[in-house]
Amino acid sequence: MHTDNKQVRVRFAPSPTGYLHVGGLRTALFNYLFARKHGGKFVLRIEDTDQKRSIPGALEKLTITLTEIGLHYDEGPDIGGDYGPYIQSQRTDIYEEYTQKLLDSGNAYHCFCSEERLNNLREEQRKRKRPPMYDGKCRDLSKDEVAYNLAQGMPFVIRLKYPKEGKTVFDDVVRDRVAIDNSMVDDQVLIKSDGFPTYHLASVVDDHLMKITHIIRGEEWLSSVPKHIFLYESFGWEAPVFVHLPLLLNADRSKLSKRQGDVSVESYLDKGYLPEVMLNFIALLGWHSADDRELYSLSELEEAFSLERINKAGAVFDTEKLNWMGGHYIRNLDVTYIADQSRRFFEEAGIDISDNDRYLKAINTARDYVYCLSDIVEHARMFFEELAFSEEDRDLIGQEDSQRIFSYWIEALGEKAQWEPEEISLLTKQSIGDLGIKGKNFYFPIRLALFGSCHGPDIPTLIDILGRDEALKRLEACVTR
């Protein structure tokens, strides 16, 4: 990968349309990793020139999500930098200046075609199974005709005057050499009738002025590269290195879309998928390391990442793999961190977790059963709430053997205030021997009394989490007077 001697500068340039798509997170992550690997700069730029799609508050939400997940940018709308403003709607005077240069050099032209004419044209092309393209009606208007139309106040857009002969050939790090027939490239609208630029003009101008060295983005932009190269050439600028990432796919290999499930990063974070899990999982969508490892911290990814190991083929967003990874992280990260990350779910459920010692121990047990933190409450709430028993449970609790077990344990636990798990293990063995009750006939009733279910952690763990006093209280509540 040639990075020359220029400092690597890359950008993530989302539109503020409401939420961060997992595909957007992958683009941001690959840009971030490449910048960190080469000691470069990672820039956040907001592409809001499509005013109809911009949603109020989306920018704040986006910056919060990126920060929460751990992708800290070096320049951006909220932190500034040497190449601002970093919001495109605040740069319109810059685009006007460069549009004028294109008009002066004859590489762009005014188009006065009405929306109605363009719709009819597209409809006609669709019927004839042709790709919808502008037919060039205004391409060769004389200066006088243009001046007359402008004087009349006719609405217009400004289009790129793209050459119709030959091919455009360019290099892409993932696709190698790409050739596109010029006759297949449309005269792209550069300035819309509302005066705002389209992505094509704004991104090329900004990438040049912000000294972006590598453009890492989704492959849906690959077919637009000839227009962008023509713009670079028209301005006499050097084009950056292009890197187009493979599509993200659903399990059925269709394009990952909102219709088929969750695609917003926020919804995964809200469910309690850890930021570390999301970054690790998403890094492996379309990239693999030299040693084919699966588990990486962010700093390990920064070390291992390279553009050359990005695949051409689409990457399947495999929820089962995400869940496997989620479970691995929840079981293996520090328990106090998992407990802190889980707190909000207990608060939302209205569960009092003020007994911190019990809370930590409960989390440590419950985390073996979950892959995202929103599920942890269901596996821990029984340590904090009064137990509710079904009719079937009550039958088991009321049986003679069950009652003998409860009485035995109430007496034994009452003998001293502190019990270590090893002592409870010995007491378990001793009580099985003394009572002559074993297997599920012993374990089901005592677990039910302490935990509300016949299945779950072992007795020493349960009593360690609850503490002697709460364990006694629960056993006593099951003694039928």
Return d(Cα 253, Cα 232) in angstroms, integer. 35
Q: In this structure, are residues 122 and 176 in contact, taking their beta carbons and an 8 Å threshold? A: no
Centre a 10 Å sphere on the Cβ of residue 321 and count the other Cβ atoms it contains.
14
Residue 52: active-site member:
no
Q: Which of 101, 137, 255, 258 is catalytic?
A: 258
Centre a 10 Å sphere on the Cβ of residue 313 and count the other Cβ atoms it contains.
9
CA angle 421, 426, 431 (to 5 degrees): 120
Amino acid identity at 49: T
Return d(Cα 278, Cα 32) in angstroms, integer. 15
Q: In this structure, are residues 331 and 372 in contact, taking their beta carbons and an 8 Å threshold? A: no
Buried-exposed string 385-395: b where 16+ CB fall within 10 A, e elsewhere: eeeeeeeebee
Return d(Cα 63, Cα 45) in angstroms, integer. 11
CA torsion sign for 273, 279, 285, 291 is negative
CA angle 69, 37, 62 (to 5 degrees): 25
What does the block give as tokens for 277? 């899990």
Amino acid identity at 460: P
CA-CA-CA-CA dihedral for 77, 243, 245, 292, to nearest 10: -110
Q: Which residue has the tokens 């007496």?
A: 411
If phi > 0 it is left, if psi is from -120 to 50 it is alpha, else beta; for residue 74 that is alpha
- CA-based nearest residue to 10, from 95, 67, 78, 76: 76
Mapped onto helix, strand or coil, the DSSP state of residue 67 is helix
If phi > 0 it is left, if psi is from -120 to 50 it is alpha, else beta; for residue 80 that is left
Amino acid identity at 153: G
CA torsion sign for 271, 275, 279, 281 is negative
Active site residues: 258
